[in-house]
Amino acid sequence: MPQALLVHGGAWNIPDELVESSLSGLRHALEIGRSRLDEGADALDVVETVVRALEEDPNFDAGRGSRLNRAGEVEMDASIMRGSDLQAGAVAAVERVRHPVSLARLVMERSPHVLLVGQGAGRFADEQGVERCRTEDLLVGAELERYRRVRAGETVLIREEFSPEGHGEEAQGPLGTVGAVALDARGRLAAATSTGGSQDKFPGRVGDSPVLGAGTWADDTSGAASATGWGEGILRVLLTHTVVDCIERGSAPEDAAREGLARLERVGGKGGVIVADRHGRRGIAFNTPRMARGWLDDEGEIHVAIEGEPR
């Protein structure tokens, strides 16, 4: 039975100084995921473990490494979906949680709900004994410095640039959302996505990552996908559901990913998507200057890339 694992760490104008560290972060996450798959782990466990590794890596805008919103706080979104029964969990605009993807999984497994937001998601995290952290613990480098200065009164440091026009010309702030899709040896598919969202977003803004069918989708009968990029566009075309739907209608994953991107372009959207089908075939597409991405090939070898042709 074929296995598959693909990851992403964002589709945007990734600066040169982040290229090597992003590639090694993806490689590390794939190594962890490959070991889990080889041990016979469930696809859901694999995507959660891989996304946790990416949330821990400050090169990416998810978990540790998230960006500040316009209020100078960190609000994160995440979702996870199991393809066998279409069970899913998600959190949005949640604060001071080290691993939003694991909180999303708890929403799926230990609540009657699919999506919890804001303070309610935080309360659920406390009830479940989830590891909480300080906002400072999620910030690194210039973002931590910015946070401290904003707290000291320099609110002018927070830019009010988040706007519908702000996604233009691919050069907007970091969109280093992370995600993973996996097919395990028993033919189970899963997908997970996590993000700190767009820089200087309006407080309460929620992107595509926690919205099923937009940022994350998995269905064992067809495929699993995770999206990254400008959330407002991805939401409007339900990118991951669109891509998996194309597979269901007979497209190969590579074509399905491209068809999804064509739909995203209808709304002027910028981003990328990874997808695996139930046969372990892979697809990646993006329309940004760079996309941090990686996958296991049919022999289980790790590949990572940022430039050029999707794969």
Q: What are phi and psi of 276, to 5 degrees?
A: -130, 145
Are 103 and 78 in contact by the 8 Å Cβ rule? The answer is yes
Nearer to ligand GLY, 5 or 62 (CB): 62
SS3 152: coil
Nearer to ligand GLY, 34 or 64 (CB): 64
**Using CB under 6 A as the criterion, which residues of the chain lie in contact with ligand GLY when the complex forms?**
175, 177, 195, 197-198, 207-209, 228-231
**Residue spans of alpha helices (H) in the chain:** 19-38, 43-56, 100-110, 118-127, 141-151, 231-237, 239-248, 253-266
Separation between Cα atoms, residue 114 and residue 137, nearest integer Å: 27
Separation between Cα atoms, residue 131 and residue 135, nearest integer Å: 13
Beta-carbon neighbour count of residue 157 at 10 Å?
A: 15
Question: Counting beta carbons within 10 angstroms of the beta carbon of residue 32, is it exposed (0 to 12), middle (13 to 18) or buried (19 or more)?
Answer: middle
Question: Counting beta carbons within 10 angstroms of the beta carbon of residue 238, is it exposed (0 to 12), middle (13 to 18) or buried (19 or more)?
Answer: buried
Nearer to ligand GLY, 130 or 206 (CB): 206
To ligand GLY, the closest distance from the beta carbon of 130 in angstroms equals: 21
From 135, 155, 177, 228, active-site residue: 177
Nearer to ligand GLY, 229 or 280 (CB): 229
To ligand GLY, the closest distance from the beta carbon of 14 in angstroms equals: 14
To ligand GLY, the closest distance from the beta carbon of 40 in angstroms equals: 32
Query: Which DSSP string do the residues of 245-311 spell out, in sequence order?
Result: HHHHTT--HHHHHHHHHHHHHHTT--EEEEEEETTS-EEEEE-SSEEEEEEE-TT--EEEE-SSS--
To ligand GLY, the closest distance from the beta carbon of 202 in angstroms equals: 12
**Which is it for strands 76-82 and 178-183: parallel, antiparallel or unpaired?**
unpaired
To ligand GLY, the closest distance from the beta carbon of 61 in angstroms equals: 8
Nearer to ligand GLY, 207 or 223 (CB): 207
177 is catalytic: yes
Nearer to ligand GLY, 104 or 302 (CB): 104
Separation between Cα atoms, residue 26 and residue 50, nearest integer Å: 9
Beta-carbon neighbour count of residue 214 at 10 Å?
A: 24
To ligand GLY, the closest distance from the beta carbon of 177 in angstroms equals: 4
To ligand GLY, the closest distance from the beta carbon of 252 in angstroms equals: 25
Separation between Cα atoms, residue 114 and residue 121, nearest integer Å: 11
Nearer to ligand GLY, 33 or 207 (CB): 207
Question: Counting beta carbons within 10 angstroms of the beta carbon of residue 135, is it exposed (0 to 12), middle (13 to 18) or buried (19 or more)?
Answer: middle
Beta-carbon neighbour count of residue 281 at 10 Å?
A: 18
Question: Which residues are catalytic, by number?
Answer: 177
